[in-house]
Amino acid sequence: MAPRRTADLMEPLVRSRPRAAVARALCTVALRRAGVVAVLPDGSHLGSADPQAPRLHIDCPRDAFSRIGAHPKIGIGEAYMAGDWSAAPGTDLADALAPFASRLADLVPAPLLRLRRISDRAHPEHTRNSPEGSRENIASHYDLSNELFATFLDPTMTYSSAYFEGEPPFTGDLREAQLRKIDAALDDAGVCAGTRVLEIGTGWGALAIRAAQRGADVTSITLSSEQATLARQRAREAGVAVQVLIEDYRSVTGSFDAIISIEMIEAVGEEFWPDYFEALDRLLAPGGRVAIQAITMSHSRFLATRHSHGWIQKHIFPGGLIPSREAIDQVLARHTSLSVTHSRSLGAHYAETLRRWRHTFGAAADRVAALGFDEKFRRMWEFYLAYSEAGFRSGYLDVVQLRIERSRS
């Protein structure tokens, strides 16, 4: 797939003085509440008066506030993509975003939150995660270029939270931390020699290869043709037999002793969570176990944002939706005979994983450009990684490894 033309993905810049004025006023309040200062081209400041506060530079206030005023949940990220604002020299972008993430629920005065429905957008129908829509959504991100992902992932090509040893600040090797995460999931699912394993969401094959090295009989499914091609190649190079299929989870048949799915539920969509968990229930052999790794948010934030289309869905993960633990438990109880029997939180580990990815990606700017990705794309990716890191650092987001088993009667 040819690299996406990010200019074509951005909203047309429509200037409205009243909307821009409102956006500036709201941004000023949000900056002050978050404890962040924004410096304007004339040297004036908005937000915090603390000289030690994280600092942003708003280089094109007119355009930045116009974008935010037109589409608040999309405009902030697109203003960054366009270069309208940046972290000030000496301020790390994630450091600047983390205070907003930690106070997201009260950045805007409560009376104005009631007006959110005016600016909120519904998720576009074409991003619905039907079997056809899922293929399009997955391709738009994961089929960008295997070479792109190789610029910042560790040698295992694992694109999910690592699991470091010890307590933060983490100093261990990223590759070892990724293998530790994979082994924890395999252990949760009880994978050993002779285990029939189904992996939902192949990635680039690291978990499937690791399971096969334990002597398991592994079937791995993905909707990404780019990932499938490289995963098969990597399995051959590792000298293991892994069946990698381009197939939707809804069409899989058979019986498996272990089912593993790492950060794939976020691409399922709330409408199809019952289908997803019913598939796990249907495919799991008696006495078998499921291990999933899922990004989560609090249930209150899930309920507040579940129907709202934002920057991350538009530019990074179309059709994506992060569940809460409560939502997962409710769907399991209503639609399956399965329940969570063990959980492990890795939120701090994801913040460190993302930090390393972001800095590696930034150092590979020339390689990324040589692959055909323009400056707006690179700024988009930088914002995505920093925005996500801030979410995990602040506790707004978590990631959990869940062991799921059939309820005993």
Task: Report the chain (409 residues): mean pLDDT per 10 consecutive residues.
Answer: 61 88 94 96 96 96 95 94 97 97 82 59 91 96 96 98 97 98 98 98 98 98 98 98 98 98 98 98 98 98 92 96 98 98 98 98 97 96 98 97 87
Alpha helices in 215-321 (DSSP H): 225-238, 273-283, 299-305, 311-315
Residues 143, 3: Cα–Cα separation, whole Å = 9
Amino acid at 92: D
Answer whether 302's CB lies under 8 Å from 323's CB: yes
* Cα dihedral sign, 11-15-19-21: positive
Residues 390, 291: Cα–Cα separation, whole Å = 26
Answer whether 196's CB lies under 8 Å from 217's CB: yes
Ordered DSSP codes for 5-59? -HHHHSPP----HHHHHHHHHHHHHHHHHHT-EEE-TTS-EEE---TTS-EEEES
Answer whether 291's CB lies under 8 Å from 402's CB: yes
Residues 332, 339: Cα–Cα separation, whole Å = 6
Answer whether 251's CB lies under 8 Å from 276's CB: no
Residue 202 has what pLDDT? 98
Residue 117 has what pLDDT? 55
Answer whether 100's CB lies under 8 Å from 94's CB: no
Beta strand pairing call for 284-297 and 397-406? antiparallel
Residue 1 has what pLDDT? 42
* C-alpha 147 chain-centroid distance: 19
Residue 9 has what pLDDT? 76
Contacts of 264 (CB under 8 A, 6+ apart): 200, 201, 292
Supply φ then ψ for residue 388, to 5 degrees.
-70, -45
Q: What is the pTM (predicted TM-score) of this model?
A: 0.96
Q: Which domains does the chain have, with CATH numbers?
A: 6-119 (no CATH), 125-406 (3.40.50.150)
Task: Kindly state the tokens that stand for 172.
Answer: 């261990």
In 3-state terms, what secondary structure has residue 86? strand
Buried residues in 272-307 as b, exposed as e (16+ CB within 10 A): bbebbbbbbbebbeeebbbbbbbbbbbeebbeebee
Answer whether 204's CB lies under 8 Å from 149's CB: yes
Q: Residue 113 CB: number of other CB atoms within 10 A?
A: 13
